[in-house]
Each structure stands twice: as structure tokens, then as C-alpha cells.
Chain A
Amino acid sequence: MIEHLPVLLVVLPIIGASVPLVASLYTDRIGWSIAVLTMLAYAALAGLLAQQVWPDTVVSYAVGGFALPYGIELVVDGLSLAVVLLISAITLGVLAYARHAGPHENTFYSQLLLLVTGLTGMTVTGDVFNLYVFLEITGLAAYGLVASGREASAAVAALKYLIIGTVGASLYLLGVGYALAVTGTLNMADMSGKLAAVGYDSTLVLTAFGLMVGGLSVKVALFPLHTWQPDAYANSPDSVSAFISALVSTVSAYALARLLFSVFTVDFLTAVPAARWALIVVASVSIVAGSALAVSQASVQRMLAYSSVSQFGLVIAGFAVATPIAVVGATVHLVGHAVMKGGLFAATGIIERETGTTTIGGYAGMGGRTPLAAGAFTVLALGMVGVPPAIGFVGKWYILVGAVEAELWPVVAVLLASTLLTLAYFARLGERLYFAEPTIREEGAIADGGEGSDGGERAEGSRSSSEPRSEGGDGDDGENAVSTGMLAVLVVAAVLAVALTAAVPALEQLLTETLPPLIQ
């Protein structure tokens, strides 16, 4: 069985996704348990896989035993392993959060597992067309999840996401078509060799590159292709926004990196400087514009969404710099950002449940009212800014050192500025949380029909929060808005944001052992 691990990782969640649908005939509340069981098994499989890959093996698997390069190949190396482990951890975390936060329907969990299938497939596949298939599975599941919010705006956001995402994926498919026309193969490793043989300056190759990268940039949400993303993040239920903000763009960025290093290779970037500069420019613009847009937001969730635009700019910049240390940095930041951003969205969900506020103005003075959520939020925000020893610092630092080594000074300048820009929007929030007088005390008092002393404030806070929430869409939560599981997820995310730094040397070793074929 052990040799079938890569394909089992993809198949298991598909099976898991179909069970709740069947079970719906009998009960509507079994989805969560099934999803948890599936993901526990998934985590075990991922662990076994890690054991196989560690420290320097690249696991390759031919689906159905068809001979390569004609069959579909699955490849797991250090980079994909890191993403698989991330998917496993984040999904378990989101499930712990959703236990209480909902949605509770079976269909939700089916979609969730389907999304995991797509993400895993994108991660382990070694075939460019197969990547497209999983990209679409991921997309469709994600559109459905965004639409599971009950407001009309969620439906609009999902529709927007669907149309833009599908166009992006189609562009990618077009690119695959061009590549196929040039090389006659879809297998990544095979295609990589043949592209080199054709010559990197061939118009077909360049067109394929442009279309594939352009298509994936939509999914990564780089500026100016990000327009679907803030709506999708801000309008979906908090479990969903935590999940997709942590994984969907992350895995797309991974796919972009896979394309760069496994298909086009660093030689291509060196041979066609315009391609590298195009990536670097888009990434840099993303960093600056994303931050500037984040600063101008009033809603915390939209601010976090624009922050993602900026942070993914950073990741892509790291991949485009393409020195070994920059790639390690970009991978670290990819993983670190997923943990931190997922945690931040979870924190906004909890703060909204406890206090009913979603805007930066409303966060004033909430540090005292929801100490745990606000504290975790602050830790995660500081990690995102890049305060050592948090993981956010390590990733940025490695990318920075890589850029310095490559002597790409404009990138260095943008990277340094990005820290300041990130600080600009998170400092504002931190100051609001801890150093400002509450602005929404009156609201709470009206809801409670009295002013209430300091001692009773917490209890009031949680009671009154059911009011704004009932119009917020999760009406069936009961009075106790925040469960231990939700808080535990948040605390774990905050701890991980710091503790993951300890895992960086291991990841670095893994990448340097398995990446040399990628980065010559």
C-alpha cells in the first residue's frame, strides 16, 4: 500500500466527500464527523508520505500503471510535501473551528472535502493538464463554499469569483494547449526537457508561459487580477474565509512555482529576462498596491484580503528571484502566511461573534473585551509584519537575502518598504484594539438595556453579540457564540506562527535536498 500513497491522498477525500451526500438520506448532521475522520486518515497518510520523502527522496507514482510520459504522473518532493502537510493541518484546524461555528450541513462538508481533493491534486500532480483538472475542481468547490453564506452579497461574490476564476483557468488551459503543440507532451518533467530543446525564445513557448502564468496569477490574486478576492473573503462565512484565505491562493502560488521550476526551469528565466522582470514587476506592484488598498479599508476582513494580495506579491517575488535561499524564503512565507492569515480570519470571526464588530473603528478598545482573540490577533499581525522570531520574519528575511545576493536592488527596496507598509495597516489596528476608547459600548448597552459595570461586561459582550450575529447569517448557533474549539484553533495558530520558525532548518534541508533538480 505504501507505494500508492500519493494517489491515496487524492482519492481519500473524494470518497470522504461522497459519503455525506449519501448519508443525507438519513441525517443532516453527520458531515462534520465524516470530514474529521477523513482528514485524520489524510493526516496519517501525509505523515507516512513525509516519512518516505524525508530527507531526500522524490516519490514518483504512475497512475494506473500507464507508462510515463503518456500516463499521469504524481510527484512528491520537498516542496509539495510541505504544502500537503499544510493542507492537512489547516483543514483539521478549520474543522475544529467549524464544529461550532458552522455551517453544519452535510453538503458543506462534502464541498470542503472536494476542495481538499482539488488542492491535494494540484499539489502532487506532475502533469500540466492534470493540474488544470484539479485547478477546476478546486475552483468549483471554492465557488460553492463562498456561496454558502446566506446573504445575497455572498452569492454575488461567488458569481464574480466563478466567472473570473473560470476565465483564469481557461487561459491556463490555453497555455497548456500551446505547450502541448510545441512539445507533444503534458508530463512536466518531459515537457521541461523538450521546451529546452525547442528553444526558450520560440514564440509558442513564450505564449504558453504568458498564458499559463497569467491564468494562475488570477488564482493567486495578484494585483490587478485580485478583484474577485476581497469580495469572496469578506462575504463568505468565517469558517470558509479562514479556509480559502489560508489554502486556495497558497496552492495556486505553489502551482505557479511548480510551473516555474519544474516546467520552465530557472534556465528559462535566465534566458528570457523579460519573463523574470515581468514577474518581478507584477509582484512588486502587488506588494505596494495591495498594502495601499489595505490601508484604505474600513472593514477588517477586506483589509486582510488586500493584505493577502500584498503578501502573495512577496511570495511570487521570492520565486522570481529564484536563488536557492529566496525560494526557501518564498516557501517559508507561503506556509507561514497560510497559517497566519487563516488564524487572522478566524480571529475576526471570533471577535465578530463576541462583540459584533467588523470594522476597524469598531475594534476600538476591544482588546480588553475579548482578550484572548485580540491577543492572538495581535501576535498573528506582528508575525505578518515580520517581527522576529515569528515565521513571517524568516520568510521575508530569506527572500530579502536572496534578492541581495542576486543584487536585485529594486526588489530589495520594495521588500524593505513592504515591511513598513504592512506595519502601517496592522499598527493602526493594534492601536485601535489596545489604546483607544471603545466606540461601541453604547450599542452594547442598548442591546442589554443598561450600562453595566466592568465586571459584567464580558458576559454582556457575549450575550449582546447574538443580536448582530442573527442578521449575520449563522442564526442557529445558540446563545454561546464562541466555543473552546474555536479559541483553541486561534491559539494554536498564534503559537504556530512563532513555533514554525523552529521547523525552518528542516524545511530548508528538505528543499535543498529535493530542489536541486529544480534549481540548477
Chain B
Amino acid sequence: MAGPLTTVPPVVVLLAVAIAIAALPRRAGHALGIVASGAALAWAWAVPSGAFLRTTFLGFDAVLLNVDDFSRLMGVIFGIIGVAAVLYSYASEAESVQTAFAYSYVATSYGAVFAGDWLTLLFFWELMAVTSTLLVWHYRGKAVRAGYRYAIFHGIGGTLLMAAILQNYAIKGTFLFGSVPGGPETMGIAAGLPAALAAVGIGVNVGFIGLHAWLPDTYPRPHIAASVFLCVFTTKTGVYGMYRAFPDGHVAIAYMGGGMAVFGATFALFQNDMRRLLSYHIQSQVGYMIAGVGIGSALSQAGAFAHVFNHILYKGLLFMTAGVVVYRTGEENLKKLGGLARKMPITAGAFTVAALSIAGFPGFNGFVSKGIVIDGAHYTFVDGPVPVYEWTTLEWLLLLGGVGTFMSFIKFGYYAFFHGEYDGDVEDANRGQSVAMVGIAALCVFYGLFDGALFSLLPFDVTSKAAVEKVYTTYTVVHVVEGVILGLIGLVGFALAKKPLSKLGRVPDIDSLTNPAVFYGTRGLVVGLTDLYAAVDRAAVAGASTVVNSVTNPDTVYEEVVEGDHSNPLRAGIGVSILVLAVFVTVVLLLLP
């Protein structure tokens, strides 16, 4: 069963490549990164399905390499974007070390999506958080603090997931996935508390509303090439993990997805920082995927993974174009840009393709996959509390998200490329950047026009009645009309909202609540503990010194107490320590019987 392709898990090879990138000269290292990503792509395509490299880790069964249609799709798209992103890094003057960090992040993502058990998945999940934090930190400056917040968020999320996995283990007696031979009979995380913990833990990674603040906080800050990597792996691996945890979906998750689609698109509309706007759109787009996973039908899950695939292409492309604008003009703010279309035709062209893709305009890849999810919400999901006309609740949420997407990308394009004139000289993207952008843009169009190529990659064949509940056809009159109408509404909406939007200041998001809460919370904990300790200490010192003074010859002991104490209120003196000890033992003795 184990052939030459299945002897080593890809993460091992790719981590070695990451180290080599740091060690080699810049040009050779990046070339190696591109070749290795291409090889990973070919490998993911060719590797046979099945569970390989079964081993025991600390006495628990583990499967280091588990290939099925879901992980294969992730491996293929990670390979494609890896090639483009490394090329883009090289062209954007990223340091070797930064690309090495980014590559280790790619490598651990491969480890996560090809894991066959929860333990291995969690291991690489945590490593992804570490490597991506390093990638953010590498840019220094403002990125460092954002990196901290990012690390704390993901640390908490990972810990919740770990708690869920442990409880799942306590119930099922194994860490293996249900789909792996020898695994438990039911797939996914056991229902009840474990499922809730898993949903919240993974929810941090996919940016559930309320848990999403790290996303727009972190992604705009590092190097432009780092953003391209960041926007791809964490959230999409999260979607993949969500599927593994909830293979049959869950209503609450589906509605959370719908909510994210609207919430992210709305907040994106308020943003003026390009990469911050794009970050909110990650949340919005991931909302579609989460909705697809949550619906739980074969059609919607196929749609979710199709959307993962397409989203990685156009979102990577969007961050590349925004990066080029930053790279050439040094400006992050849309209000200070404009008229770049004439100066930067390639970038503007690539942006247009990507924007039409993300908004789901007919002929582009986003249209195909978003359509599957919306069809899934229409045909295979409950009506929900507030169906409107013939749309189910979830469906109109997703459609509304689509309008918001159109509006915010019309805004982005209008202010960056078409509005006014750009004074001063500015060059278009350099050759490497152009190759990367045009290549990905071509793929966006290709998968939009030839939807069969995309369908063949999906875990469920959406064109076969045997595999899905409702056969999906991309180009029907209804779909196309729907897509065009959404676009028109978006255009009109933007025209109406342009004035009020431009007057709008910065809209506070949930992080203006959570950041102080976390900050003062942890500070309160530490200060509270130390102050409590110091208070006990002071009281005890006061008590001890009266006792000591009443003793005939107190001087030496007293000196010790004071001297041990004055430099730091925390340092308990000898007398206090003994007092604490005596009280401690007394309490223990009193409590024991």
C-alpha cells in the first residue's frame, strides 16, 4: 500500500526546505521554495488516497499521512498559492528569513491538513500559530504588539480545541478520525460540551463574530508578502478543521457562517486601510464556507470546499495587488490614493479580475462556488426563522453578504484605481509580481469559465445525482441574473452610500472592547495577585513587628525582616514566611478530618 509517495509526510520535506531557504542565498532559496511548492502540488495531485504512516505516539494511535478528497484539495491549492506567493515574496524584496518563516508556516499547514488523527492535527495547528506569529513579528514595529494579540488569541483557541479533543478521546477512546480505518464509528467531535468547545476553539481560527478581532488587527501590519501567506492558511485550515469536527454540520454553525458573511462585508465597507478592508472580507468569505460546512449536506460541503479553493486564489491575488500599491506608493490608505489605473494597468487589471471573482460575478470563479453554497442553503437547508420571498433565512443572509462584497470592492477599486488623478510618477508591478498576479488571475478566470475542472477536484461530484441532493449547474438563467442583479444593487448602493461613507470615521469593532478587557483582565489578575500578596505581607509584617517588639531583644530579627523587605514589596521576610507556613499547616490540619 505504501508507495514512494507515501513514505514521508510532506511537512517534513517542506520544513527542510524552509530551513534551506533561510540558509541559501536569496535568489536560490526562493527558487527552491517555488520548485518545492510545485512539487508539493504535483505530489498532492498524484498521491493515492488512504491512511499511511500509522504509528503510535506516546502510546496513542496516530496517522501522520491521511489522504482523502478533502485533504487532497487543500494540498493542491496550498501548492498553487505557495508557488505564486514565494515568487511574489522574491519580487517584493522579502528577506530570506521572512520567507523561511512563511515557508515553515506553509509546511505546518500541510502537516495539519494531511493529519489522520486529532492529536497530529492539533500538533500542527499549534505550530501554525507559532510560525505565523514569528512571520508577523519578523516585521517588527507595530507588527510586534499585533503579533502578541494574535498569539494570545490562537493560544486560547488552540487550548479550547485541545480540551475538546481530550474529552472526545475520553468518550471514544481514540484520537483517530472516523474516516480512518480503525477509527471510531462516528466521525467528528462527540456532541455536547466537546462539540461546543471545538466550535469555539476552531471558531477563533475561522473568525467567528466576536472572535475575529485578531484578523483585521494582524493581517494589515506585516510585510506585504507576509500578508499574502497569512490570508491563505490559518482561516482555510480552520474551515477544514471545522469540517473534520462537524462532518454532518450544525444549524448554529451554518447561521454563524451567514452572520459572518454579512458582518465581515459590512465592516469591510467602513474601512479605508486597504489590507484591513481585505481582512474583513476574509471573515465574510469564510462565512460562506462555514455556512456550507454547517448546512452539512454533500452539496453544501462540496460548495464550501470549492469556495476554499477559489477564495485562496482571489484573496491571495487581492493581497498581492494591494501589496503592489503599498510597495509602489508607500500608502496604505484608500483616501490618499486614486487614479492608479492608468499608471498601473497590470495591477488594476488583476485587481478587477479578483474583485469580480470575490463578488461572485458570472464568468469568474467566485460565482461558481458561491452559487453552490447558496444553492445548498436554498435546497438542502431548513427555511429558518425569517424566510423572505422564496429565500431561506440563511440564503438571503448570504445574498446580502454578496451585495456588501460588491459595494466594498467597488469602493476599493473606485478610490484606488479610478477616482481622480495620481500625481507623481509611479511604476507598475515589477516583473516577478506581475507574473505571480497574472498567473493567479488567469486561474480565477479559468475556473470560472471551465467549472468542470473545479468540480473534478471536489469531494462530492456536484453534477451527479448519485452524489448530491440537488444537481448543480453553474450557468443557469436564474444564477446569472442573480449574479448580475447583486452587482447592480451593489453599484447603486455604493453610489448612494459614497457620501455618508466618506464622512464616516473609524467604526469601532469588537476589539475595542476585547483588547482592553484582555489587557486589564490579565493585568488585573497579575496585579491583583501581587497586591493581595503584598497586602497580606504588609498586614503580617505589622503583626509580626508588634510581636517582635514585645520580645526582649527584637533588634536583629527585626532588621532582617525590614531589610529583606524594602527593595521589593513582594519579597516576604523570614518571619512572614514562617507565619505563612504555620498558618498553612494549621489550615491543612484543620481541614483534613
Chain A: minimal CB distance from B148 (Å): 8
The 10 closest A-B pairs by CB, nearest first: A214-B585, A227-B577, A227-B572, A210-B589, A206-B592, A435-B137, A210-B588, A292-B529, A160-B574, A416-B159
Say yes or no: B58 contacts A398, CB within 8 Å: yes
Say yes or no: A293 contacts B570, CB within 8 Å: yes
> How many A-B residue contacts, CB cutoff 8 Å?
123
**Closest chain B residue to A272 by CB distance?**
B592
**Closest chain A residue to B133 by CB distance?**
A427
Within 8 A of A (CB), among B433-477: none
Say yes or no: A224 contacts B530, CB within 8 Å: no
Chain B: minimal CB distance from A52 (Å): 27
Known contacts A210-B588, A293-B529, A405-B170; is A159 also within 8 Å of B581 by CB?
Answer: no
In the bound complex, CA of A91 to CA of B593 (Å): 42
**Closest chain B residue to A228 by CB distance?**
B577
Interface size class of B (residues with CB under 8 A): 35 or more
Which of B's residues lie within 8 Å of A, judged by CB? 58-59, 123, 126, 130, 137-138, 140, 144, 148, 151, 155-156, 159, 162-163, 166-167, 169-170, 525-527, 529-530, 533, 560, 563-564, 570-574, 576-578, 580-581, 584-585, 588-589, 591-593
Known contacts A397-B58, A416-B163; is A278 also within 8 Å of B591 by CB?
Answer: yes
In the bound complex, CA of A228 to CA of B578 (Å): 10
Residues of chain A contacted by B126 (CB below 8 angstroms): 387
A504 touches which one: B58, B166, B525 (CB < 8 A)? B58
Say yes or no: B574 contacts A163, CB within 8 Å: yes
Residues of chain A contacted by B170 (CB below 8 angstroms): 404-405, 407
Chain A: minimal CB distance from B127 (Å): 8
Chain B: minimal CB distance from A222 (Å): 9
**Closest chain B residue to A386 by CB distance?**
B126
A225 at interface, CB cutoff 8 A: yes
In the bound complex, CA of A163 to CA of B574 (Å): 7
A154 at interface, CB cutoff 8 A: no
B588 touches which one: A213, A228, A504 (CB < 8 A)? A213
Most buried by B among A160, A167, A504: A160
A476 at interface, CB cutoff 8 A: no
Within 8 A of B (CB), among A486-519: 504, 508
Which of A's residues lie within 8 Å of B, judged by CB? 156, 159-160, 163-164, 167-168, 171, 201, 203, 206-207, 209-211, 213-215, 217-218, 224-225, 227-228, 230-231, 272, 274-275, 278, 289, 292-293, 295-296, 387-388, 394, 397-398, 400-401, 404-405, 407, 412-413, 416-417, 419-420, 423, 427, 431, 434-436, 504, 508
Say yes or no: B581 contacts A400, CB within 8 Å: no
B contacts with A: majority SS? helix
In the bound complex, CA of A266 to CA of B443 (Å): 65
Residues of chain B contacted by A227 (CB below 8 angstroms): 571-572, 576-577, 580
Say yes or no: A160 contacts B526, CB within 8 Å: no
B166 touches which one: A275, A292, A412, A436 (CB < 8 A)? A412
B584 touches which one: A214, A272, A504 (CB < 8 A)? A214
Say yes or no: A431 contacts B144, CB within 8 Å: yes
Say yes or no: B592 contacts A224, CB within 8 Å: no
Chain A: minimal CB distance from B354 (Å): 32
Say yes or no: A156 contacts B526, CB within 8 Å: no
In the bound complex, CA of A203 to CA of B170 (Å): 37
14 A-B contact pairs sorted by A residue (CB < 8 Å): A156-B564, A163-B574, A164-B577, A171-B585, A210-B589, A214-B589, A217-B584, A224-B580, A227-B572, A274-B591, A423-B151, A431-B148, A436-B144, A508-B59
Chain A: minimal CB distance from B572 (Å): 4
In the bound complex, CA of A405 to CA of B167 (Å): 9
Say yes or no: B592 contacts A210, CB within 8 Å: yes
Residues of chain B contacted by A407 (CB below 8 angstroms): 170
Say yes or no: A420 contacts B156, CB within 8 Å: yes
Residues of chain B contacted by A224 (CB below 8 angstroms): 533, 580, 584
Chain B: minimal CB distance from A203 (Å): 6
Say yes or no: B578 contacts A163, CB within 8 Å: yes
Say yes or no: B564 contacts A160, CB within 8 Å: yes
Known contacts A416-B162, A435-B138; is A427 also within 8 Å of B592 by CB?
Answer: no
In the bound complex, CA of A6 to CA of B584 (Å): 36
Known contacts A156-B560, A214-B588, A416-B159; is A394 also within 8 Å of B580 by CB?
Answer: no
B563 touches which one: A156, A201, A417 (CB < 8 A)? A156
In the bound complex, CA of A118 to CA of B563 (Å): 31
Residues of chain B contacted by A416 (CB below 8 angstroms): 159, 162-163
In the bound complex, CA of A203 to CA of B573 (Å): 33
In the bound complex, CA of A276 to CA of B147 (Å): 41
In the bound complex, CA of A417 to CA of B160 (Å): 10
**Closest chain A residue to B138 by CB distance?**
A435
**Closest chain B residue to A325 by CB distance?**
B59
B593 touches which one: A171, A203, A423, A431 (CB < 8 A)? A203
Known contacts A274-B591, A401-B166; is A167 also within 8 Å of B137 by CB?
Answer: no
B155 touches which one: A163, A201, A423 (CB < 8 A)? A423
In the bound complex, CA of A420 to CA of B162 (Å): 12
Chain B: minimal CB distance from A432 (Å): 10
Residues of chain B contacted by A159 (CB below 8 angstroms): 560, 574
Say yes or no: A404 contacts B585, CB within 8 Å: no
Residues of chain A contacted by B527 (CB below 8 angstroms): 296
In the bound complex, CA of A427 to CA of B145 (Å): 12
In the bound complex, CA of A394 to CA of B57 (Å): 10
A sample of 15 more A-B contacts (CB under 8 A), given A423-B151, A436-B144, is A163-B574, A164-B574, A206-B593, A214-B584, A214-B585, A215-B585, A227-B572, A274-B591, A295-B526, A388-B123, A397-B58, A404-B167, A419-B159, A434-B137, A435-B138
Say yes or no: A160 contacts B144, CB within 8 Å: no
Chain A: minimal CB distance from B396 (Å): 40
Residues of chain B contacted by A218 (CB below 8 angstroms): 581
Residues of chain B contacted by A394 (CB below 8 angstroms): 58
In the bound complex, CA of A160 to CA of B581 (Å): 13
Residues of chain B contacted by A206 (CB below 8 angstroms): 589, 592-593
Residues of chain A contacted by B148 (CB below 8 angstroms): 427, 431
Chain B: minimal CB distance from A113 (Å): 28
